[in-house]
Amino acid sequence: MSLVAQQRDVALTWVSRGLPVVPCSRTDKGAMVPGFGKDKTDEDVAKFSDPEQVSQWWSSGRFARAHVGLLTGRGGPTGRGLLVIDCDMVKPDTVLPERYAGAASGVDVLEAIAAAAGAEWPETYTVITPSGGVHLYFWQPPDGPLIGCATGDKPTAPHLGPLIDVRGIGGYVIAAGSYSAAQGVAYRKVAESPAQPQPIPGWLLALLRRPAPAAAPRPSVVRQLPTGDRAERYAIAVLTGEADKVSSAHAGDRWRALTAAAVRLGELAETAPRVLTEGAVTDALLSAAASAGMTEGEHRLRTIITSAWSKGLTGGFGGAAA
């Protein structure tokens, strides 16, 4: 069988299993056809599951010998698609965190993560890559949001660790059976692994969906000036008091407390311009908002504070007639 016919057969086999495919470069494995990102609809990505289109891609022209990319987070028995854990081999310039020192691949890292969770190695449909890496195929969880894509070791989900990539909605992996003369070896299923992808284990799903770490509280910027007149001492007391109100506000009252504090401090700004600067007020209230558990993002919080501060300047003492 020619390489063209072999690649076409691999692509059509995966499509017959209900999983969409995309032509990928034989050298860098980059997708050669766009339009399957996580924001795309089922209608947008329908062509990647169309046997006629797929057969045409792998029949002639620049796609004929392309790698077969398997779209993740699409299709499959439930329509939610695959979630693939991609364990890479260590490279000469790789610097690993101390807790993973000595790891030769993402497999070693994932074994350490499993051990830390008190879990066994996940048994599922497994593929060996030409470089010696490992792809673990799971079905996306049946409920909740689809798992997305992540690369390497970061504190946010779905990142897992160094030498590990996560391929979910909007991503792809090179399919088992695909071959490239540039690599000389096909991606191949591990014979003794299960014949089908398995549901993702609970311990692994918990890591892929773990909540974002709490933001570190900002250091307080409210301080007593070494020398200050009565107006400045009063301004410091008000700044401290308003920040305390925000940090201790209940969930349903945090936005009101934040905007009210910024307005009041804007109204007092002219009485103590060395103390109640826009920067000092903004930093104090951002710190208080973080302590209160407001997670809307610093940019949005800063915008709200600045807007309310400006209203205080123009509508309060600072904007009053002489």
**Model confidence over 13-70: pLDDT tens digits?**
999 999 999 999 998 999 999 999 999 999 999 999 999 999 999 998 999 999 999 9
Mean per-residue pLDDT over the chain, rounded: 89
In Å, what is the CA distance from 167 to each residue of 5, 50, 137, 187, 247? 27, 22, 10, 16, 39
Indicate the residue type of 136: L
Cα 300–Cα 305–Cα 309 angle in degrees, nearest 5: 150
Q: Model confidence over 108-151: pLDDT tens digits? A: 999 999 999 999 999 999 999 999 999 999 999 999 999 999 99
Element housing 289 (H / E): helix 278-292
Residue 275: per-residue pLDDT: 86
> Does a cis peptide bond (omega within 30 degrees of 0) precede residue 23?
no
- pTM of the shown model: 0.68
Neighbours of 252 (CB within 10 A): 7
Which residues, including other chains, have CB under 8 Å from residue 244's CB and lie 6 or more apart?
288
pLDDT of residue 29: 93
Q: Is 321 exposed, middle or buried (0-12, 13-18, 19+ CB in 10 A)?
A: exposed
What token pair was written down for 14? 């995966």
Distance CA 91, CA 7 (A): 29
Give the span between the Cα atoms of 236 and 271, in whole angstroms.
Answer: 11
